[in-house]
Structure 1
Amino acid sequence: LDTVLAANMILNMDLSTFLLLPVHLLVWLYSVVSFLPWYFLTGAQEKKALAKRMKAKSIKGQAEGPYRSLDHFDSLARVDFPGKDTLDKLFDHAVQRFGKAQCLGTRTVLSEENETQPSGKVFKKVLILGDYKWVTYEELDIEVNLFGSGLAAVGQQPKNTIAIFCETRAEWMITAQSCFRRNFPLVTFYATLGEDAVAFGLNECEVTHLVTSVVLLETKLKSILPQIPKLRHIIYVDNKSISTAGYPETVQIHSMQYIKELGAKPENCEQIVRPIPSDLAVIMYTSGSTGRPKGVIIIHSNLISGMTGQCERIPDLGPKDTYIAYLPLAHVLELTAEISCVTYGCKIGYSSPQTLSDQSTKIKKGSKGDCSELRPTLMAAVPEIMDRINKNVMSKVQEMNCVQRTLFKLAYDYKLEQIKQGYDAPLCNLLFKKVRALLGGNVRMMLSGGAPLSPATQRFMNICFCCPVGQGYGLTETCGAGTITEVADYSTGRVGAPLICCEVKLRDWVEGGYTKLDKPHPRGEILIGGPNVALGYYRNESSNSGDFFLDENGQRWFCTGDVGEMHPDGCLQIVDRKKDLVKLQAGEYVSLGKVESALKNCALIDNICAYANSDQNYVISFVVPNQKKLTALANQKSIKGTWEEICTHPFMEVEVLREIKEVATSIKLQRFEIPVKVHLSPEPWTPETGLVTDAFKLKRKELKNHYLHDIERMYGRK
């Protein structure tokens, strides 16, 4: 009977499955033969024990906390290196330890060309990028000294603010280290921040000196300079000359090279005024998802303690590591990551989202992207970028022939099962070599922050890039520090235990239905306390009184507005956001963030914003569709036209809604949470459009204003 059944099974198999039988047999044999030696030789048992261990617990034994890491339970960590309690001391320490080692690297643009797209739009693409050119720690120290002396020579005073409005590049870090050394508090702005927001921040901080790039000077700053009466000096970082025609006479414009030449003159080598831990280091303007930007007041000791906590979660951080820097340096995640890398002797290679990989928009086909050239070992990314990588790779998989696709799925599913159990699949890793090559093939750890990372995307990165993804949770107001998952933790959907520099507690939010008595785990608004918590918002007492407070022990706390759930092992999971909660007409509460996170799993969707009016009884949505998938669907339905015409075709809205409902039903969203109507946007949402922040968080107010006509249409008013 068994023989007959087996014969019937073989007869019913398609050819590809039949051909893969030897592969299945080989994998099974490999697992049997190699598992025990691998298990004991790689320390798998110890790693699994680390993953399962208790990581944090309540210091008072109460469900709401405060929860503190068991690795530093008796007190909160404030410094990583004894006595190095300011940012300038950390840098001096790094120069002494790693003087002749490479520190900052930049690729030179050898040539450019314009490329016209089928739509007629012209994009400037980099034709050829050169090799990375490196500055050593000792050379960087000299640059920092010269630039700091030059700034002092043109009137910059200790404890007076100086602003930087510039893209991520080596000159940004040179400026920052120069300011930290001479106690010039640094005011930071995202390069994509709007002109009005930049003018507001510069005036609020009464800035007299500003460091920027030629592009930002000519495209954004020039028009608003008359609105900034106290600004006297602008320093541009590019190695070129520009015309000063059309600029206010009250403003002097200098090149960075000129300022360094000033700093080299003997008469300008005056005594340096060094900071103390309580001195102001940075006023960091957040792009914010609502309203005017807020300047977060961060002192030296805040950043030092925050980085102490972060670095403890990155095993073996040191001179063997290479970090690729492309996220905005005006974001606390990138700033603390780069300062930490410098502190530990890592190399930092600069990049941009447009030149990151061989397939990036500004890399000419056939040329090497920055990852291929640099081969980084460490990388930070926001979930939006990881989601894009996931969808692009899976789209390529669908284009493979049947056998290749089946092999990929076999390896993917096998490794997925191994990872879920806390193991690895070294043989399968060979099949993912080409995928790993997208990021240089050498990444040993990725850090995700800025927004929740979906479990599916986290697993994809674990499997295809063969490295752990440390998902972190923190805010500008906590210097980016809060929680980070440990490398050994193979769970998904969580952001890890509190770092050794801070503690976390939960506060009941009864209106939202979250309390410390919830089962199976306590839930509530997340509060973060510790020496990493900033002093507040610059000249914004109303927000300070509501968002920051001191406890009975004098410790500062920040009320995040995020809702968390604390697991028994002391790890946190983000489950909601207070500001994302909308009450519908019938009384149901809808978490817009929860809906968006769930529906991003829809193959037709690249990005989505859920929206609801309290005087309506249903949710609507704006969607940036996946161009490749939607175009293929349009071709199947014989719908022709430009990309814009496809997106505005009523039938395509119906199809996207149908898939949204299928996905929503499969993941058990409530009926009232599922969008009833949809608008398809042909233009992606980028920081440049002003519809998302630099961390790709949705700007709900701007999105509402942008799609006001469509909101009225979908709610039946037009």
Structure 2
Amino acid sequence: MRGIGVEDSGGVTSRHCSKVTIVTFDCILNMAALFKEKPEHIWNTISEDFPLNPSLRDRAVPLAGSKVPGYSPIYRNVYSQKELKSVPYPGITTLYDTFELCAANNGDKPAFGHRVQKEDGKFGEYVWQDYNTVQKRRNNLGSGLFFVLENNPYKTDSEAHKKLKYDPLSDESFVLTMFSHNRPEWALADLMSAAYSITNTALYDTLGPDTSKYILNLTECPVVLCSKDKVKVLVELKEKNPEALSNLICIVSMDDLTTDDAPLKNYCHDHNISLFDYKQVEKLGEINPLDPIPPKPETTFTITFTSGTTGANPKGVLLTHENAVAGVTFSLSAIPLPKLYPTFYSFLPLAHIYERLNLHFATALGAAIGYPQGRSPLTLLEDVQVLQPDILSLVPRVLTKLEAGIKAQTINNDENPILKSLFTKAINAKMELITNPANENTNPSHLLYDRVLGLLRKKMGMGKLVGFVTGAAPISPETVKFLKASLNCGLGQGYGMSETFSGIMASSIHETEASSCGPVCITTEVKTRDLPEMGYTSKDEGGPRGELLVRGPQIFREYYKNPEETAKSFDEEGWFHTGDVARIDARTGRTWIIDRVKNFFKLAQGEYVTPERIENTYLSCFPYLAQMFVHGDSLRTHLVGVVGVDPVSITSYIKGRHNETINDPADLVRFFGDPQRKRQLLIDMNASLGDKLQGFEKLHNIEVDIEPLSLEKNLITPTMKIKRPVCTKYFKQTLDKLYEEGSLIKGDKL
């Protein structure tokens, strides 16, 4: 591979080496300009180099001499031992570069697709814009945006508004905001921001008005590009907070405005906001064209606000083009896809970094990206059946629902015993093949049962599917294995966060163990910090355990306007402290995320408990659960919890354990309201754990619900992390009741 990265002399790379890095980039840029390599040559070289053979990148090893007291050695991917990679090809250093290269080689190929609603209300086939069209619209949108901002009647002499002028020589940018469900116009705005060196950020529905106001105020945002249904919401927010949002003077609707929207326009003008739609702005840009302002690697691309787990205001993660291109390089190296024009489905929210990386990975790859019908996630399978994607990036919550649905149609299909028997044999046979260590990094075929499983794939619209990629939260290895076996495809899980521009690790989609996050990727190096108070050290049997520390070109620079949090997050050698507890396998260097640093408390008998590890263990071992919140108290000797059962799979448990059939999910809560049934459920939950938890780590009482933890209740983040302080307050009466009831299993052997 011809990418380059931050190079060191002895395995220790520092954030303070940035001057050396920039000089290296400048040299490469000058060389690329000097030789004027043809886009076809660069494209072909990248296509030949990526993705990496899994057997060449599926391990990480410690750097010699890098172990210091209190820490593990520094681990790097076997493929990037001498240097960390940061770009896919010398000179391709920004998202503007990656898109321009793609458009030059794939101009007439499909880029963005959406389904058009027919007169009967149903949605038809996907309609596509090619890369040439997207490139032209991108430039028109950027040119038109500068025109409407520079000529805005509500512009003031504020510091934020002084940045609205088109100036190719300036390194300062205003902050543009996107606010919409996934759609081609959202992606177009992101590409436009990259091309014109505009910093952007995003809002999303579950933030709520207070947090949205906080972000718009902090960024001094002058313009929002949004779906039409968000226009009134934004104006109402400014009406209630005129001083905090005084810089907001322009809204551009992604949907067409009509004469019926005259009252909405007037409402905007009443609050010093100009309202346009995309068509108007693009037309103005076509009439008044402006060349793109190519960014530099250090140019700030986006500020992504982390929702956080404490309930406090989110932190803005400042990410540069260097970070973004390193993320694209990681994806190119790790995700196996067809060489020619793969198809993506953009399902996860574009406001979050996981899907942002997917977008720029896809547009660097020349892929076709299909978008959902609208904001509802319920159209996933219907869209997939029409789109036939090659790759699906999902989160565990969606995959567990998919697992339950497939099981209901196959191995748990009591209404069709012949079908049940056939699929049970096929899936079991495939499971045996994919979990055999001799088949590592391969998808072994079965002469008979691959045909049976092919029928299921075709029915679900997954006939072309290479595999799934999942992240953002833990997933049960059993779910991974079942989906891989039943759909005869791959499934890899990764690890990353906003601060790392999404993934920095990814397991092989055909990893036989199906439980790790894979080794650290080629752009990043990692080590662990000892946490003796939690029982995690670098000398633990099987490999080091401790807080995961990361460093490299994919890691963010700072928190936006928050030097205190920035200083707390980095040490003097430039290591970012993730707050996640990891285990690194001594043999393979693969990583498991097993806990959170701050998530532990002491019970009355003096034992330390880490709730996240306990929750993950229950969810992994007892597949009928979808959610869990574990709580302990220093004045109590046992744990209690709130559990969310999966409404589909739990019915088979009830049938097997109680010989009863429940069809209405609403009846499930009443069913487990019976103390004896709840006690039996808890006994079975604890029995499923085997010896994976100690007695004091097991639950003694539970409250059962369908979806107790939700975004709407502000109990979890959009990436499904539990907001523990908020949950403790929200469930206070429930937790008090559980403790008052006492242990349901006292006396039972735990």
TM value normalised by structure 2: 0.80
Q: Distance in 1 between matches of 2:582 and 2:276?
A: 49
Moved more, 587-596 or 526-535: 587-596
Letter in 1 for 2:83: S
Counterpart selection for 2:634 from 608, 611, 614 = 614
Contact 2:627–2:707 (Cα < 8 Å) also in 1: no
The structure 1 residue matched to 2:214, chosen from 195, 200, 206, is 200
Q: Residues 335 and 134 (structure 1 numbering): CA distance in 2 closer, same or farther, change over 3 Å?
A: same
Deviates more, 1:318-327 or 1:212-221: 212-221
1:281 to 297, 301, 322: 301
Residue of 313, 316, 319 corresponding to 2:340: 319
2:492 pairs, out of 467, 470, 482, with 470
CA distances 1:466-511 after superposition (whole Å, capped 9, x unpaired): 1221211111101113211134532221111111111111110111
Match of 2:178 among 139, 156, 164: 164
What CA distance in whole angstroms lies between the structure 1 residues aligned with 2:480 and 2:661?
35
Match of 1:452 among 457, 474, 485: 474
Q: Distance in 2 between matches of 1:278 and 1:533?
A: 12
- 1:10 corresponds to: none
Contact 1:111 1:129 in 2 (8 A): no
In structure 2, C-alpha distance between the alignment counterparts of 1:513 and 1:608, rounded to whole Å? 23
8 Å CA contact retained: 2:54, 2:334? no
1:634-656, Cα deviation, whole Å (9 max, x unpaired)? 89688999855651566446424
Secondary structure class of the residue paired with 1:80: coil
Q: Return the alpha-carbon distance in structure 1 between the equivalents of residues 426 and 564 of structure 2.
A: 55
The answer (yes or no) to whether the contact 1:470–1:486 under 8 Å persists in 2 is: yes
Contact 1:647 1:653 in 2 (8 A): no
Instruction: Supply the AA of the counterpart residue of 1:473.
Output: Y
Matches within 5 A, 1:7-22: none
Corresponding residue number in structure 1 for 2:93: 85
Match of 1:394 in 2: 407
Residue 144 (structure 2) aligns with: 150
Pairs within 5 Å for 1:691-702: 691-702=715-726
- What amino acid sits opposite 2:202 in the alignment? T
Equivalences for residues 500-579 of structure 1 within 5 A: 500-551=522-573, 556-567=574-585, 568-579=587-598
Q: Deviations over 1:3-27 (max 9, x none)?
A: xxxxxxxxxxxxxxxxxxxxxxxxx
For residues 230-250 of structure 1, give each alpha carbon's deviation from its aligned partner in whole angstroms, at most 9, with x where no partner exists. 211111211243332544521
Point out 4+ residue stretches in structure 1 off by more than 6 angstroms.
352-356, 631-635, 637-642
- Residue of structure 2 aligned with 1:238, choices 255, 276, 280: 255
1:628-639 matches, within 5 Å, as 628=648
User: Take 1:97 and 1:377, find their aligned partners in 2: how far apart are those partners?
Assistant: 20
* Partner in structure 2 of residue 677 of structure 1: 701
Distance (Å, rounded) in 2 between the aligned partners of 1:575 and 1:617: 24
Residue in 1 that maps onto 2:122: 128
Secondary structure of residue in 2 paired with 1:679: strand
Q: Take 1:354 and 1:178, find their aligned partners in 2: how far apart are those partners?
A: 23
Question: Does the residue aligned with 1:194 lie in a helix, a strand or coil?
Answer: helix
Which range moved further: 674-683 or 461-470? Answer: 674-683
| 1:441 equivalent among 443, 463, 467 | 463
Give how far 1:446 is off.
1.6
Amino acid of the structure 2 residue aligned with 1:522: P
Change in Cα spacing, 1:340 to 1:514, as seen in structure 2 (3 Å) is: same
Q: Which residue, 41, 56, 60 being the options, matches 1:56?
A: 60
CA apart distance, 1:225: 4.6
**1:418 corresponds to 2:439:** no
| Shift of residue 229, structure 1, vs aligned partner | 2.2
Distance in 1, matches of 2:81 and 2:651, equals 55
Deviations 1:129-150 (A, max 9, x none): 1110100000000110111011
Q: 1:439 to 1:593 in 2, by over 3 A?
A: farther
Cα distance change of structure 1 residues 472 and 604 upon mapping to structure 2, 3 Å threshold = closer
Match of 2:330 among 309, 315, 319: 309
Residue aligning to 2:731 = 707
- C-alpha deviation, 1:686, in angstroms: 4.0
Instruction: Name the amino acid aligned to 1:249.
Output: H
Gaps of at least 5 residues in structure 2 are 1-52, 150-163, 166-171, 743-750
Shift of 1:629: 5.5
Distance 1:447 1:637 in 2: 37
Q: Note if 1:189 corresponds to 2:209.
A: no
Q: Quick check: 1:104 aligned with 2:112? A: yes
Distance 2:737 2:333 in 1: 52
- Partner residue of 1:369? 382
Equivalent-residue separation in structure 2 for 1:55 and 1:539 (angstroms): 38
TM-superposed CA distance for 1:523, in Å, is 1.1
1:161 and 1:187 in contact (8 A); partners too: yes
CA RMSD of aligned residues (A): 2.7
Instruction: Kindly state the Cα deviation for residue 82 of structure 1 after the two structures are TM-superposed.
Output: 1.9
Asked if 2 retains the 8 angstrom alpha-carbon contact of 1:190 and 1:331, the reply is: no
| Cα distance in 2 for residues equivalent to 1:129 and 1:73 | 50
The offset of 1:192, in angstroms, is 2.6
Residue number in structure 2 paired with 1:139: 133
Please report how far the alpha carbon of residue 550 of structure 1 lies from its aligned counterpart in structure 2 after TM superposition: 4.6
Q: Shift in Å at residue 196 of structure 1?
A: 1.0
Matched residue type, 2:627: N
CA displacement at 1:682 relative to structure 2: 4.4
The letter of the residue matching 2:231 is L
Taking the aligned partners of 1:409 and 1:488, their CA distance within structure 2 comes to 21
> Take 1:399 and 1:224, find their aligned partners in 2: how far apart are those partners?
54
> Is 1:70 aligned with 2:69?
no
- For residue 163 of structure 1, what is the amino acid of its counterpart? T
Structure 1 window deviating more from structure 2 (586-595 vs 629-638): it is 629-638
Question: What's the counterpart of residue 30 of structure 2?
Answer: none
Task: Report how far residue 544 of structure 1 moved.
Answer: 1.1
CA contact (8 A) 1:326 1:352 kept: no
1:297 correspondence with 2:310: no
In 2, Cα distance between equivalents of 1:215 and 1:657: 47
- 1:340: Cα distance to partner? 1.0
Unaligned runs of 5+ in 1: 1-48, 113-126
Give 1:689 deviation, angstroms: 4.2
Bigger Cα displacement from structure 2, 630-639 vs 300-309:
630-639
Residue 172 of structure 1 aligns to a residue in which SS?
Answer: helix
User: What residue number does 2:397 align with?
Assistant: 384
For normalisation by structure 1, the TM-score amounts to 0.84
Q: Work out whether residues 642 and 708 of structure 2, in 8 Å CA contact, stay in contact via their aligned partners in 1.
A: no
Deviation at 1:658, TM superposition (A): 2.4
More off after superposition, 305-314 vs 178-187:
305-314
Distance between the aligned counterparts of 1:637 and 1:570, measured in 2? Answer: 46
Report the AA paired with residue 441 of structure 1: G
Q: Distance in 2 between matches of 1:141 and 1:52?
A: 36
Query: Cα distance 1:323–1:653, how it changes in 2: closer, same or farther (>3 A)?
Result: farther
Q: 1:564 to 1:710 in 2, by over 3 A?
A: same
1:625 equivalent to 2:645? Answer yes
Equivalent pair of 1:604/1:656 in contact (CA under 8 Å): no
- Equivalent residue number for residue 599 of structure 2: 580
Could you tell me how far 1:354 is from its partner in structure 2?
A: 7.1
Q: Which amino acid aligns with 2:583?
A: E
Mean Cα deviation higher: 52-61 or 198-207: 52-61
Distance in 1, Cα, partners of 2:639 & 2:732:
15
Any idea what the Cα deviations from partners look like across 1:575-626, whole Å, max 9, x if unmatched? 2222332222222222212222222243542322222233322222122223
Aligned to 2:359: 338
Q: What amino acid maps onto 2:740 in structure 1?
A: G
Shift of 1:253: 1.9
Q: Secondary structure at the match of 1:411?
A: helix
Q: For 1:510-563, what per-residue CA distance to the aligned partner results, in whole angstroms no more than 9, with x for missing partners? A: 111100111122211111110111012112222211212351xxxx42111111
Distance in 2 separating the partners of 1:493 and 1:221: 47
